[in-house]
Chain A
Amino acid sequence: MEVDFHHYLPLIFVLLLGLGFAGSFLLLSYTFGPKKPTASKLDVYECGVPPTGDARERFSVKFFLVAMIFLLFDVEVVFLFPWAVLLKEFKAAGTGFFAFGAMAVFLLILGLGLLYEWRRGALDWES
């Protein structure tokens, strides 16, 4: 299938517009704002006391865990999209239930994976 890149050209313009708009805001305050830095003004906010330690510490692995689970499921969602779009054509061609069955197996595996994570405690956030 030939991809018509002509359709995508205006996107570049949209991107430029968005970047330009956001960029102009950054420039505006940089230009017009007063510049009177003091040591305490530029200090890190930690509720008014001298900050203890740095924020650049190793943080909890649970946040990475969420990202990893997300990655697995998101890839699977990507598979669902073309299937969903083409289901109409499958139905017209009379192979609808085959397509449905295939995806049902896929979703079943996906669901089992979710269940496994659940049971393993990857979906516990209280502790």
Chain B
Amino acid sequence: MTIQSQEMLLNMGPQHPSTHGVIRFVVKTDGEVMSEAMPDVGYLHRSIEKIGEICDYNGFMPYTDRADYLSAMNANQGYAMVVEKLLGLEVPRRAEFLRVIAAEFNRIISHLLSVGALAMDVGAATPFIHALKEREKVNDLMEALCGQRLTYNYVRIGGVSYDMPPNFSERCLDFLDRFEPQWDEFERLVSANKIFIERLSKVGTISREDAIAYNLVGPNLRASGVDYDLRRDIPYSIYPELDFKVIVGHGEQGEVGDSFDRYIVRVREIRESIKILRQCFSRIPEGDILAKMPKVLKPPVGEAYVRTESSRGDMGYYLISDGSAKAFRLRIRTGSFTGMAIIQKISQGMMIADLVTLIASLDVVAPEIDR
């Protein structure tokens, strides 16, 4: 077929059900096949980094929740770590355990939402509701821990804000015992579904080279076959003591780095997080949860960069201190932002339906892109 027809310029977003927040894609299409999809970000920019230079160190913690509201604990942890690095502060061991517990629970619910939304974008509404059902249970646990369900503001510079409530570890272990069979059921419903596999395999394949060149991070990078996880490779907190596997995509339903690999990596990372949580609950020591600190934090002049493995991958905080009570500069590096750049390259010659799959499989979260 060499007949050319006029291309249609279609705006997908900002108000679109499957752009996962307010992102806009300008799509050039002939009806079904796109020649290009250009991402247009910035609709959710809230100047979080600038706010970080206006308020004091402790006061900025709630804003990190909003930087990535789907894995707020990981964002909290990263910020706390960068300030502690400048201060040269030692965090009590119990607090480290609590941070990891909270962060891994957060990873589970973030991946749950991601995987559920992917299924929803592919057209199956039921898995999404089942994923959200489990997410609500974790939210209950988080509420018991810190009083919040979405933006936790749990981690403090030098520790955490609350100790575990009574019976908390029993409740959590009980949940994990119930959750694992539920997760098997979810996999039977989704991962083994022929239409689902057909929709995901060989769609939006990102090669190993592209993934590295375009700076993909986290599960997206690992799905392309790169064995790299900050929790293991640049260890922080108590992760070196814990035993867990880094999940890498193998292209079991098509090619390495296709949407199915990105899906299955998240599905399996949930199981790894469960493993980590079990270890944490069996080893958590008694002790303080907050280091002794002055009322007003004034880190010495200097700069620090800390990377943590958030649910969406490498989340970095870059902080420059001029010795005052406020940060001189603060920059946040997030996973979704780098994910956007590759969409334009990968989407050429794709079908509109596949663009939706690609966005969902990259687990793009709009507020994290724009900050």
Contacts and interface: CB of A to CB of B under 8 A. Distances in A.
A and B touch in the complex (CB under 8 A): yes
Interface of A: 46-49, 51-53, 55, 57-63, 121, 125-127
A57 B26 CA distance: 17
A47 B1 contact: no
Nearest to A51: B11
A38 B368 CA distance: 35
A127 B349 contact: yes
Given A52-B11, A61-B3, A121-B1, A47 B24 contact: yes
Given A47-B12, A52-B9, A60 B31 contact: yes
A125 B350 CA distance: 11
B14 to A, nearest CB: 5
Contacts of A53: 8-9
Interface in B227-283: none
A61 B5 contact: yes
24 contacts: A47-B12, A48-B13, A48-B14, A48-B15, A49-B24, A52-B11, A52-B26, A53-B9, A55-B8, A57-B8, A58-B5, A58-B6, A59-B6, A59-B30, A60-B5, A60-B30, A61-B3, A61-B5, A62-B1, A63-B31, A125-B32, A126-B33, A127-B1, A127-B349
A127 to B, nearest CB: 6
A56 to B, nearest CB: 11
B297 interface: no
B8 A59 contact: yes
Contact of B5 (A47, A52, A59): A59
Interface in B1-50: 1, 3, 5-6, 8-16, 24, 26, 30-33
A49 B5 contact: no
Contacts of B30: 59-60, 62
Nearest to B22: A48
Contacts of B349: 127
Contacts, number: 51
Contacts of A59: 5-6, 8, 30-31
Given A47-B13, A127-B33, 20 more contacts: A46-B10, A46-B11, A47-B12, A47-B15, A47-B16, A48-B13, A49-B14, A49-B24, A53-B9, A55-B8, A57-B6, A59-B8, A60-B5, A61-B1, A62-B1, A62-B30, A62-B31, A63-B31, A121-B1, A125-B32
A55 to B, nearest CB: 8
Contacts of A60: 5, 30-32
A62 B351 CA distance: 14
Nearest to B3: A61
Contacts of B6: 57-59
Nearest to B29: A60
Nearest to B16: A47
A48 B30 CA distance: 22
Nearest to B6: A58
A9 B1 CA distance: 49
A51 B32 CA distance: 19
Among B8, B12, B14, B351, the one with the most A-chain Cβ atoms within 10 Å of its Cβ is B8
A58 B30 CA distance: 9
Interface string B287-310: 000000000000000000000000
Contact of A126 (B5, B13, B351): B351
Contacts of B24: 47, 49
Nearest to B33: A127
Contacts of B8: 53, 55, 57, 59
A47 to B, nearest CB: 5
Contacts of B11: 46-47, 49, 51-52
Contacts of A125: 32
Contacts of A61: 1, 3, 5
Contacts of B351: 126
Contacts of B10: 46, 52
Task: List 8 A-B pairs, minimum CB-CB distance, nearest first.
Answer: A48-B15, A60-B31, A60-B30, A58-B6, A60-B5, A47-B16, A47-B15, A52-B9
A47 B3 CA distance: 30
Contacts of B31: 59-60, 62-63
